[in-house]
Amino acid sequence: MSARTDVIVVGAGPAGLAMSRSLSLRGIAHVVIERGGVGERWHSERWPGLNLLTPTWMNGLPGLVPDGAGDDFMPAAGFAAFLDRYRAETAAPVITGCAVRSVTESGSGFRVLATLGEWQCRAIVVATGACDHAAVPAWSRDLPGRLQQVTPAQYRGPGDLPAGRVLVVGASATGVQIAADLRGSGREVILSVGRHVRAPRRYRGRDLFHWLHRSGFLHEPRARGSARPAALPSLQLVGHSDNREIGLVTLAAQGVAVAGRAMGTDGDRIRFAPSLAMECAAAEVRRRKLLAVADRHIEVTGLATPTEDEAWEARVPPVEAFAGDRIATDAIGTVIWATGYSRAYPWLRVPALDGAGEIISDGGHTPVAGLFTLGLPFMRHRSSAFIHGLGRDAESIAASVALHLDTAATRVA
């Protein structure tokens, strides 16, 4: 026999836990289903030594902030522990070790079949996160079987990789951090560079996120009618106590070779697009937009802060750091795919997916009445997939859930 509840929340990461709190405050009965443990990805899919990119003051959830929330950077393991604490303090009704097998429409609601039970509910919130599956290109199957292929979720450090040069594909935050980690251990590294954002860790005396938050940049809403998750490259940043910067120039100075976007195989070679100079130029444009956001805020508010003219100077890797347009596959031992993420919902058997398998979500609302999303990139505003932005989105979606439940109850009456 099925159990009944008003709402099922799928996923007990930061998005699902924030959603649970918002529903509880409204007195809405719900259950949170999680395939692993609370914050599973933060426990099992982050490499040792990884810190969050955002300062600790940005890593709280509604009703609870981490201890000493300042401009330091939390270890990923520390944030995982914070999620365990948050779940306990909010008394979130989480069922762990419970993987969803299918979600189907049933009467005026949904039937949820999972490994530990079956539920009937009137609404569902999909809060499985933005970083679901590594977006590994199909041509990876053309690489020789002897090459070890690794995703960031599988990466645990240089010592776990076979001997030989490492090709890191992707130059957003994850890719540059892994490249730096590998090079710091003495490994030879080639970094394949696509779309990226060269960002300062600090600017005009404060962390970059201080300005992006205070200026309202992170709160800018997404245009309604945009139904796919935004494909935004993460900023080239690293969270470290010395506030160091990271980017192609700093990596090249450490001996990392750089190449254009990896395009596929050409016989026994990996081919790179002749786009490195173009991508670097585009990254400079994106950097200047971020700096301009801070400058405008400082000017409008009349803050007295020192200028940093050197932050506006373009910086690109020297020509001698370029790896060329092809590399033999026998010249490398490992490929690490830091190529971003996609999402997959094989269990979601309702008409809410597009042709690419992405959930159709306009501000958290799907085409299926009673089915909502939370935690997708730029879902409602720029910080929708940031920990910092989840609480505001959760409250908005909770209001929509409550309205849906009330409307459905009125129809039945």
In this predicted structure, the answer to whether residue 253 has a pLDDT above a threshold of 80 is yes
Q: Residue 300 has what pLDDT?
A: 97
Side-chain half-sphere exposure of 140, counting CA atoms within 13 A: 19
Q: For 45-122, list the strands marked E by DSSP.
A: 94-95, 100-106, 109-114, 117-121
Edge-to-edge strands, sheet with 257-259: 148-150, 334-337, 166-169, 189-192, 257-259
Q: Residue 413 has what pLDDT?
A: 46
Mean pLDDT to the nearest integer, 244-249: 96
Contact 306, 220 (CB under 8 A): no
Q: Residue 289 has what pLDDT?
A: 96
Q: pLDDT > 70: what percent of the chain?
A: 96
Q: Residue 322 has what pLDDT?
A: 93
Of 45-59, 83-97, 223-237, 324-338, minimum mean pLDDT range: 223-237
In this predicted structure, the answer to whether residue 224 has a pLDDT above a threshold of 50 is yes
Domains in the chain: ranges and CATH: 3-132+343-412 (3.50.50.60), 135-337 (3.50.50.60)
Largest Cα span, the chain: 74
In this predicted structure, the answer to whether residue 228 has a pLDDT above a threshold of 60 is no
Residues 6+ apart with CB under 8 A from 21: 61, 62, 63, 90, 92, 394
pLDDT band at 117 (very low <50, low <70, confident <90, very high): very high
Q: Residue 227 has what pLDDT?
A: 56
Contact 147, 329 (CB under 8 A): yes
Nearest to 367 by CA among 353, 379, 355: 353
In this predicted structure, the answer to whether residue 342 has a pLDDT above a threshold of 80 is yes
Mean per-residue pLDDT of the chain = 94
In this predicted structure, the answer to whether residue 113 has a pLDDT above a threshold of 80 is yes
In this predicted structure, the answer to whether residue 181 has a pLDDT above a threshold of 60 is yes
Q: Residue 226 has what pLDDT?
A: 59
pLDDT band at 166 (very low <50, low <70, confident <90, very high): very high
What letter represents residue 110's amino acid? F
- CB neighbour class for 23 (10 Å; exposed up to 12, middle 13-18, buried from 19): buried
User: Tens of pLDDT along 46-104?
Assistant: 999 899 999 999 999 999 999 887 899 999 999 999 999 999 999 999 999 999 999 99
Q: Residue 229 has what pLDDT?
A: 54
In this predicted structure, the answer to whether residue 411 has a pLDDT above a threshold of 70 is no
Q: Residue 130 has what pLDDT?
A: 84
pTM, 2 dp: 0.93
Contact 397, 30 (CB under 8 A): no
Edge-to-edge strands, sheet with 30-33: 94-95, 30-33, 7-10, 123-126, 371-373
In this predicted structure, the answer to whether residue 19 has a pLDDT above a threshold of 60 is yes
- What would the two tokens of residue 225 be? 């009618």
Q: Residue 142 has what pLDDT?
A: 95
Rounded to 5°, angle at Cα 60 from 58 and 61: 130
Contact 223, 311 (CB under 8 A): no
Strand, coil or helix: 81: helix
Residues 6+ apart with CB under 8 A from 324: 259, 272
Q: Residue 133 has what pLDDT?
A: 83
* Residue with tokens 């980690």, as numbered in its chain: 181
Residue 380: CB atoms within 10 Å: 22
Q: 3-state SS string over 102-148?
A: EEEEECCEEEEEECCEEEEECEEEECCCCCCEECCCHHHHHCCCCCE
Mean pLDDT to the nearest integer, 17-42: 97
Residue 146: CB atoms within 10 Å: 9
Q: Residue 233 has what pLDDT?
A: 73
Q: Residue 225 has what pLDDT?
A: 64
What CA–CA distance (Å, rounded) separates 143 from 330? 10
What CA–CA distance (Å, rounded) separates 200 from 182? 22
Between the CA atoms of 149, 151, 157 and 158, what dihedral angle is there, to the nearest 10 degrees?
Answer: 30
User: Tens of pLDDT along 277-322?
Assistant: 999 999 999 999 999 999 999 999 999 999 999 999 999 999 899 9
What letter represents residue 174's amino acid? T
